[in-house]
């Protein structure tokens, strides 16, 4: 039976790219899979059969290396966290939340700051530029690659292409930050739909409505996804937030108390590191805020 890769899922159909010919077959899922509670995701490698009407049926999902529920994708190994520097403005708390999510899922992440061409002149622009530089320095010091780009001017794309090659990459970020625009700039000939941010709401309109894998020239794939800004720790099944802050990890086991929350306990290595300026105050503050949020969601369940 033929094997392939699901590149898109839309209106009950799975679009499966055949491994040998590279052509795409429109497939239905098999009822039996639904009974087993299995539901195919974009990124899944599957075995399918051809049906009489020229379509196909997904028979079996091959074992997954990873699965994300937000955005829904299987087998991704690199998350591309896209943030615009203006419209919408860069939010480090949201960036840290996405990082908690990817660390928990065991995915490596790169950070792409985009719309650099849109920074205004004058004092406001100078302040934005300083914030961008500080963010770049902070996240690079944590070991994340940070790329500064403009999809409109086509700048900063070559080093990003190198980082994405050969991976199954998934884009994530708020609506309107420019994920689809970035993909269009990275892949020659691609024309994904993009849209002006709604003036009234000051936020994106959710132009992209489905997850789709796009082949990269240098090998590998990049998934465009609908934007989202809400991440619920309970939904994600995250239980230990401190282990998702990578700079806390080597410190936590030096705390005096096991299960230290790093908020008030004596002889806490994380608090000590924060006092000494070895942990950025924004990172620590976001940790505390996530911890509070996590406790509240747990209480509700
Ligand atoms: N000036 C400038 N505008 C950009 C850039 N990238 C994207 N935009 C604009 O930002 C708006 C949103 O871009 P999209 O690519 O549709 O954003 P998205 O992240 O795919 O949004 P969703 O599909 O809703 O999640 C569009 O008006 C784009 O033209 C850029 O590098 N510079
Ligand atoms: Mg989009
Ligand atoms: Zn501690």
d(CA 272, CA 254): 11
**Which alpha helices (DSSP H) does 152-268 contain, by range?**
157-164, 179-186, 233-236, 249-252
Does 171 appear as a known binding residue?
A: no
d(CA 134, CA 201): 28
Indicate whether residue 97 lines ligand 1 (CB < 6 A). no
Indicate whether residue 211 lines ligand 1 (CB < 6 A). no
Residue 248 CA: which ligand is closest?
3
Does 177 appear as a known binding residue?
A: yes
User: Rg (Cα) of the chain, in Å, rounded?
Assistant: 21
Length of the chain: 301
Question: Atom 30 of ligand 1 has which residue's CA nearest to it?
Answer: 115
Whether 2 contacts 19, CB under 8 Å: yes
| Bridge partner list, 198 | 203
pLDDT band of 228, cuts 50, 70, 90:
confident
What is the pLDDT of the chain when averaged over all its residues? 92
pLDDT digits (tens, 9 = 90+) for 39-81: 899 999 999 999 988 899 999 999 999 988 888 999 999 999 9
- Calculate mean pLDDT across residues 206-222: 91
Q: How far is the CA of 232 from the centre of ligand 3 (A)?
A: 24
| Bridge partner list, 82 | 112
Does 21 appear as a known binding residue?
A: no
Half-sphere exposure of residue 169: CA atoms within 13 angstroms, side-chain side = 28
- Whether residue 191 has pLDDT greater than 60: yes
Indicate whether residue 229 lines ligand 1 (CB < 6 A). no
Whether 154 contacts 189, CB under 8 Å: no
Q: Can you read off the two tokens belonging to residue 8? A: 């898109």
pLDDT digits (tens, 9 = 90+) for 10-49: 988 999 999 887 899 999 988 777 777 888 999 999 999 9
287's enclosing H/E stretch is helix 281-300
3-state secondary structure of 126: helix
Q: Can you read off the two tokens belonging to residue 37? A: 């509670």
Q: How far is the CA of 178 from the centre of ligand 2 (A)?
A: 7
pLDDT band of 194, cuts 50, 70, 90:
very high
- Calculate mean pLDDT across residues 184-192: 94
Indicate whether residue 88 lines ligand 1 (CB < 6 A). no
Indicate whether residue 180 lines ligand 1 (CB < 6 A). yes
Q: Give the pairing of strands 78-84 and 56-61.
A: unpaired
Q: Can you read off the two tokens belonging to residue 147? A: 């790329």
CA atoms 70, 72, 78, 84: torsion sign: negative
User: In the prediction, which pLDDT does 199 show?
Assistant: 47
Nearest residue to 161 via CA among 106, 110, 103, 96: 110
pLDDT band of 233, cuts 50, 70, 90:
confident
Residue given tokens 């500064």 in the structure block: 148
| Bridge partner list, 24 | 17
Residue given tokens 């908020």 in the structure block: 263
- Whether residue 275 has pLDDT greater than 60: yes
- Whether residue 234 has pLDDT greater than 80: no
- Whether residue 204 has pLDDT greater than 60: no
- Whether residue 3 has pLDDT greater than 90: yes
pLDDT digits (tens, 9 = 90+) for 72-129: 999 999 999 999 999 999 999 999 999 999 999 899 999 999 999 999 999 999 999 9
Q: Which domains are seen in the chain, by residue range?
A: 3-63 (2.40.50.140), 68-224 (3.40.50.300), 235-300 (1.10.40.50)
């Amino acid at each position: 039976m033929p094997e392939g890769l699901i590149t898109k899922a839309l209106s009950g159909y799975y679009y499966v790219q055949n491994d040998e010919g590279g052509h795409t077959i429109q497939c239905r899922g098999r009822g039996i899979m639904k009974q087993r509670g299995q539901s195919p995701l974009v990124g899944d490698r599957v075995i399918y059969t051809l049906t009489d009407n020229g379509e196909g049926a997904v028979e079996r999902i091959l074992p997954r290396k990873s699965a994300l529920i937000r955005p829904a994708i299987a087998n991704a190994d690199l998350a591309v966290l896209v943030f615009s520097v203006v419209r919408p403005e860069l939010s480090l708390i949201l960036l840290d939340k996405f990082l908690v999510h990817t660390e928990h899922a065991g995915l490596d992440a790169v950070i792409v700051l985009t719309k650099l061409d849109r920074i205004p002149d004058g004092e406001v622009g100078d302040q934005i530029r300083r914030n961008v530089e500080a963010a770049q320095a902070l996240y690079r010091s944590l070991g994340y690659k940070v790329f500064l780009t403009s999809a409109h001017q086509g700048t900063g794309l070559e080093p990003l292409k190198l980082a994405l090659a050969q991976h199954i990459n998934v884009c994530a970020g708020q609506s309107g930050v420019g994920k689809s625009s970035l993909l269009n700039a990275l892949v020659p000939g691609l024309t994904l739909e993009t849209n002006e941010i709604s003036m009234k709401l000051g936020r994106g309109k959710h132009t992209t409505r489905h997850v789709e894998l796009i082949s990269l020239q240098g090998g590998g794939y990049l998934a465009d996804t609908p934007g989202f800004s809400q991440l619920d720790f309970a939904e994600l099944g995250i239980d230990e937030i401190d282990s998702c802050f990578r700079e806390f990890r080597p410190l936590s086991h030096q705390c005096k108390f096991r299960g230290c929350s790093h908020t008030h306990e004596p002889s806490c290595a994380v608090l000590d590191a924060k006092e000494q300026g070895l942990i950025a105050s924004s990172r620590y503050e976001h940790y505390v805020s996530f911890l509070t949020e996590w406790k509240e969601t747990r209480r509700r369940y």
